[in-house]
């Protein structure tokens, strides 16, 4: 009788442990959302862009289905950005940000808190505490040409990032706000970016709505086929 009880206990422990492991091992691979970008460029022009974004971290393409001001598709890969209009490739340009360090990929991998810096050669140089902010300064050792990065966190969420040049002058500021938890993924629905060029600044506010994680439909858009060039 005792052996049976022991067996039951072992079985229960095994079932509980395996469920816990399953939850832990749950991976997030896809994110899609409606987005809008309100921008003031360096010339003072104000531009609104509205669309839907698809990203699958295994496919490594960010697909933007833009509906305003012009209907157009943008496919961004690690190396190139393709502009597609009416099913035709109209422009190809070099990518500016590797997929790994896009907010979509960092959120799916749960590494946005330190902007993925923990897995890089960047070293934590300084840590400061405010009443509700933790500010960390990151530097690349043995590279005098690279500027420092400063991150701010609140409640273990990244709230800001400042990029400095090697002279300590601020080049850009990013703010991450309105975090939403979707099926376990914390995503900043609002992002504000300031870029400082000479004595001017550009402002970009990106907002996301209707965020979905691991959506299994829309396979076509997640792996949008880039048509051959003109």
Partner 1 sequence: MKKLFVILLFFSTCLSSYAGNADKFSYNADELQNEFSDLQSLESMFIGNQNLTIADFEQMDIDWLNRIDLENMKCASPVQAMFGVDDMEWGAFAWGFCCSPIGFFLVAISDEKSNNEKLSYWIGVVISSLLGSIAAIANPTPGTSLYTGY
Residue numbers 56-75 binding partner 1 by CB under 8 A? 64, 66-70, 72, 74
- Please say which residue, 22 or 145, places its beta carbon nearer to partner 1: 145
Which string of DSSP letters, residue by residue, matches 167-182?
TS-EEEEEEEEEEEEE
Q: Is 89 in the site for partner 1 (CB under 8 A)?
A: no
Q: Is 133 in the site for partner 1 (CB under 8 A)?
A: yes
Tokens of 125: 């140089």
Q: How far does CA 27 lie from the centroid of its chain? A: 16
From 2, 96, 156, 217, residue interacting with partner 1 (rule: CB under 8 A): 96
- Please say which residue, 3 or 198, places its beta carbon nearer to partner 1: 198
Q: Is 165 in the site for partner 1 (CB under 8 A)?
A: yes
Other beta carbons less than 10 A from residue 52's beta carbon: 18
Contact 33, 211 (CB under 8 A): yes
Q: Is 178 in the site for partner 1 (CB under 8 A)?
A: no
Q: Residue 214 contacts by C-beta under 8 Å, 6 or more apart in sequence?
A: 28, 29, 30, 183
CA distance 143 to 32: 37
Binding-site size, partner 1 (CB under 8 A): 71
From 172, 180, 214, 218, residue interacting with partner 1 (rule: CB under 8 A): 172
Q: Is 189 in the site for partner 1 (CB under 8 A)?
A: no
CA distance 12 to 79: 50
Stretch that binds partner 1, among 15-23, 36-44, 180-188, 219-227 (CB under 8 A): 36-44
- Please say which residue, 83 or 214, places its beta carbon nearer to partner 1: 83
């Amino acid at each position: 009788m005792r052996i049976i009880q022991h067996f039951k206990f072992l079985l229960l422990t095994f079932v509980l442990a395996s469920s816990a492991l399953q939850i832990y091992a749950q991976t997030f691979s896809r994110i899609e959302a409606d987005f809008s970008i309100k921008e003031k460029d360096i010339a003072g022009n104000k531009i609104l862009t509205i669309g839907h974004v698809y990203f699958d971290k295994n496919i490594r393409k960010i697909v933007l289905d833009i509906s305003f001001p012009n209907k157009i598709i943008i496919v961004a890969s690690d190396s190139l950005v393709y502009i597609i209009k009416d099913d035709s490739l109209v422009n190809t340009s070099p990518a500016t940000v590797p997929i790994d360090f896009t907010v979509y990929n960092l959120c799916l991998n749960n590494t946005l808190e330190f902007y993925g810096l923990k897995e890089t050669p960047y070293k934590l140089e300084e840590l400061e505490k405010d009443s509700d902010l933790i500010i960390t300064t990151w530097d690349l050792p043995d590279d005098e040409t690279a500027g420092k990065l400063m991150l701010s966190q609140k409640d273990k969420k990244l709230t800001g990032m400042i990029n400095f040049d090697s002279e300590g002058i601020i080049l850009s500021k990013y703010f991450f706000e309105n975090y939403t938890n979707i099926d376990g993924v914390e995503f900043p629905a609002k992002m504000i970016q300031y870029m400082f060029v000479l004595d001017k600044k550009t402002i970009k506010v990106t907002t996301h709505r209707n965020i979905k994680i691991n959506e299994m439909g829309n396979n076509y858009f997640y792996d949008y086929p880039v048509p051959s060039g003109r």
